[in-house]
Structure 1
Amino acid sequence: MPFLGGSLAFERFSVSGFESAEFGDEQIELLTQNVAGTVQTAAAENIHVGFLGGAHLFDQEFDASKNVLSEALHCSVRIDTNQIPSAIRKAWLQMELLALAKDSPSGVVSKAGRKEAKEAVEQRCEVEAASGKYRKMQQFPLLWDYGQETLYFGGSAGTASGHCADLLERVFNVELKHISSGSIAQAWAIENDMYAEVDDLTPANFVPAVPHGDLAWANPHSKAPDFLGNEFLLWLWWRLENDTDTFALPDESEVTVMLTKTLTLECPLGESGKETISHESPVKLPEAMHAVRSGKLPRKSGMTVIRNGQQFDLVLQAETFGISGAKIHVDEDADFEVDERIDAIRMLSETIDLMFHTFCARRVSEGWNKDLKGMVRWLEQAGQNAERTAA
């Protein structure tokens, strides 16, 4: 049960429309009725999605005492697929074409022959898929937090999370929306009566010599300002380098932050590529500063975060705010109960959000121009220092 032990990796979804007062027998029954493994994926490309108890790939047992923990529902989703690998499909097609070519007086396969070969391959795919030879099973843990109306999906955003969301929406009659940096900013803006200000924001330019508009990786179908996640990581880097590693959060608690282990940067124009730097403190390396001075923006960063005496190590993806490689540090001599583990996951998410809220408040304030000028000057000075060192 990954959410209950070991390192963590998850994306978050908001959950709305859930009408029950708590998780209980009704939800356990729904999980049981939609358990994984009851439908065989016989046809090629067929997909079946169902729930698991969470213990392992074949765990089909559900119980309130096992799956309802600290006002949260914990289980897994299994996605079964039959997908013939493309390399095998191509090989089968080539075999069919070679056989037809041998039987042809000219040694060339006709248009009708090619059609025949493709049909033969499709028939073979159906037979092989029905045998289960190419059946693939993937398990993804879920933690549905009732109080925070949040679903933690143990994987990255993509096809698998889409299948999971579809299953939950259909079974529990709820609506799920992916939580990204832009949606967090919009929710903060609504709560603080700042929606117009956030809606008017456009990507900032930190290197005047390399101007850009929309970021190359921006989702053209989304109106959420996910570019704020990239700016947040750069702003955090600048603040840690030039101010302090400990600062106050909106709830009046304090957080200490260090950027560690890994840093991924990418050109917002999509021209000079992406680079990933691995080091105990990647932001201290000259190649990291060189990348930023060339106009690249952070897309992912490792960090250590300490708040209320609890330490977390994690990697944060800038746009999706997906978390990976997260470790919750505990005293080796202390017992760490399941409820405490779930509370720690909640604190981790809350801490990252509060840090981002701090940035959002600064981003829409009059003080942002001061910060932006400071960040531009910081990068320019770093470039001048690098030139003097090289000379």
Structure 2
Amino acid sequence: MGIQSGAATITFFHVPDPITEDFWNYIDENLKAGIFSPCGEEDVRTSGFVSWSDLFSIDLDHGGYRKGEYIVFQFRIDEKKIPSMLLKQHLKEEKLRFTKERGRPPTRSEQKILKEAVEKKLIKLTFPIPRGCEVVWNPLSRELMLGTASSGVIEAFLAHFERYLKLFPVPQYHLKWALTMDDVPAQVKDSITKLVNPSSPTALKEGMFLGYEFLTWLWFRTEAYTNDVKVDDSRHGSIYLGDRITLGVPLEGTEKVTCTSKKHHLDEARVALASGKRPAEAQWFMQVADREYTFTLDASLWSIKSLKFYINTPPEGNDPDGIFFNRIFCIEEVRAFLRKLYGEFLNFRFTSSWQDDVLPELNRWIMNFRRGKPISELKNVDN
């Protein structure tokens, strides 16, 4: 589900500034150059930029992609897919026809030619299946939100965006996010890059320990220390572990345990944690003033999934712009709180505080699950 849905999923990127003196003219020309065009008879797949309000409209004229400081549009992919059973049946008929006409069955190379001909014929008769995702880009903060977590859609979008905008968005997963955060000291960033090369094609996997450790620390922080989060002078809130958590062994894709509870007890999850597993994905509940949020965060820290929010004083009426700015405000607020918490974690993890103060208490907290001691017996960690 995308940004405009009731349970939003958003994947984040950092976009560098384009080298141009006329930014908005640059955006206008290149967005329109990459506009969507429908599939032709022989096309298997096409993609392009379309209107924010309508996936089937290519109207990007008159600055229709601008909402305040944001650039908003959708990315659409149309793809023709031939059902395997249909392809198999038509190929079988072609082989029988070939055998009848030639008096012999087709060779392996001839079968390949027959298959290509059948696929080409069926493609002409097949209707494309459209899909897409919303794009919200804030040039001032250099943050781009993509309303999907699908790797296929993300890859297609990046290829198209880079081709036409000549910009290369940086995915904000655990490692890359840490390196683009302004409030993370340079020495902390240096320590991170000594452990994982950010230019490595396997950096996402190699740095996954950051996500596992962050989710573990956040669970520990909220239960053994404090739920309170202060982002800035005007925003103060709280965060709690939700009703669902999945645990696994870092860097191993096998044997994961998913635990759910309507009472926030998650006793099975605590047993799994004590046995050596770590949170791979967890639901969180957050409250700021009169705003309540639930969302899921996995160890990549790249996407916020299934984001739902409740506001006691929602915008009045059905003004599309009012609804848009309200949703983006909420998404950015959740992102700001997570950024604050992740920065706090990094400043512990890569300084002496981690070994001296945090890790002993965190390990003691985990061991107490095995012993069955109450959380109230734990000592607070000095922030």
Q: Distance in 2 between matches of 1:26 and 1:337?
A: 28
Q: Distance in 2 between matches of 1:116 and 1:63?
A: 50
The aligned amino acid for 2:348 is R
Q: Distance in 1 between matches of 2:91 and 2:10?
A: 40
Query: Is the counterpart of residue 270 in structure 1 residue 252 in structure 2?
Result: yes
Q: Distance in 1 between matches of 2:370 and 2:74?
A: 49
Q: 2:351 aligns with which of 356, 365, 371?
A: 365
CA positional deviation for 1:294 = 2.4
The aligned amino acid for 2:335 is S
Q: Could you say if the C-alpha distance between residues 28 and 189 of structure 1 is closer, same or farther in structure 2, counting changes exceeding 3 Å?
A: closer
The aligned amino acid for 2:244 is T
2:380 match? none
2:330 match? 344
* Superposed counterparts of 1:71-110, under 5 Å: 71-93=69-91
1:52 match? 50
Q: 1:145 aligns with which of 131, 138, 145?
A: 138
1:258 match? 240
Q: Distance in 2 between matches of 1:232 and 1:328?
A: 23
The aligned amino acid for 2:294 is D
Which ranges of structure 1 fall in alignment gaps of 5 or more residues?
A: 203-217, 387-391
* Superposed counterparts of 1:315-326, under 5 Å: 315-326=296-307
Q: 2:272 aligns with which of 270, 285, 291?
A: 291
Which deviates more, 168-177 or 228-237?
168-177
Which ranges of structure 2 fall in alignment gaps of 5 or more residues?
A: 317-321, 374-383
Q: Could you say if the C-alpha distance between residues 85 and 230 of structure 1 is closer, same or farther in structure 2, counting changes exceeding 3 Å?
A: farther
* Superposed counterparts of 1:81-230, under 5 Å: 81-93=79-91, 113-133=107-127, 135-156=128-149, 158-188=151-181, 191-194=184-187, 195-201=189-195, 220-222=202-204, 225-230=207-212
Q: Could you say if the C-alpha distance between residues 97 and 164 of structure 1 is closer, same or farther in structure 2, counting changes exceeding 3 Å?
A: same
1:314 match? 295
* DSSP 3-state at the match of 2:367: helix
Is this contact kept in 1: 2:48–2:75, CA < 8 A?
yes
CA positional deviation for 1:291 = 1.8
* DSSP 3-state at the match of 1:240: helix
CA positional deviation for 1:7 = 3.0
C-alpha RMSD of the superposition: 3.3
Query: Is the counterpart of residue 236 in structure 1 residue 218 in structure 2?
Result: yes
Is this contact kept in 2: 1:52–1:59, CA < 8 A?
yes
Q: Could you say if the C-alpha distance between residues 185 and 115 of structure 1 is closer, same or farther in structure 2, counting changes exceeding 3 Å?
A: same
Is this contact kept in 2: 1:35–1:52, CA < 8 A?
yes
Is this contact kept in 2: 1:14–1:149, CA < 8 A?
yes
CA positional deviation for 1:140 = 0.9
CA positional deviation for 1:265 = 1.6
Q: Percent identity?
A: 21
Q: Could you say if the C-alpha distance between residues 142 and 101 of structure 1 is closer, same or farther in structure 2, counting changes exceeding 3 Å?
A: same
Is this contact kept in 1: 2:184–2:347, CA < 8 A?
no
CA positional deviation for 1:256 = 0.5
Which deviates more, 175-184 or 115-124?
115-124
* DSSP 3-state at the match of 2:169: strand
Q: Could you say if the C-alpha distance between residues 367 and 337 of structure 1 is closer, same or farther in structure 2, counting changes exceeding 3 Å?
A: same
2:377 match? none
How many pairs align? 363
Q: Distance in 1 between matches of 2:162 and 2:344?
A: 33
CA deviation vs aligned residue, 1:225-244 (integer Å, no higher than 9, x gap):
33211111111111222122
- Scaled by the length of structure 1, the TM-score of the pair is 0.80
* DSSP 3-state at the match of 1:319: coil
Which deviates more, 141-150 or 241-250?
241-250
2:367 match? 380
* DSSP 3-state at the match of 2:15: strand
Which deviates more, 288-297 or 1-10?
1-10
The aligned amino acid for 2:283 is G
Q: Could you say if the C-alpha distance between residues 272 and 74 of structure 1 is closer, same or farther in structure 2, counting changes exceeding 3 Å?
A: closer
Q: Distance in 2 between matches of 1:250 and 1:330?
A: 20
Is this contact kept in 2: 1:259–1:281, CA < 8 A?
no
CA deviation vs aligned residue, 1:49-101 (integer Å, no higher than 9, x gap):
11110223311212456421121011101111223244544454556667789
2:16 match? 16
Is this contact kept in 1: 2:14–2:142, CA < 8 A?
yes
- Scaled by the length of structure 2, the TM-score of the pair is 0.82
Q: Distance in 2 between matches of 1:253 and 1:229?
A: 25
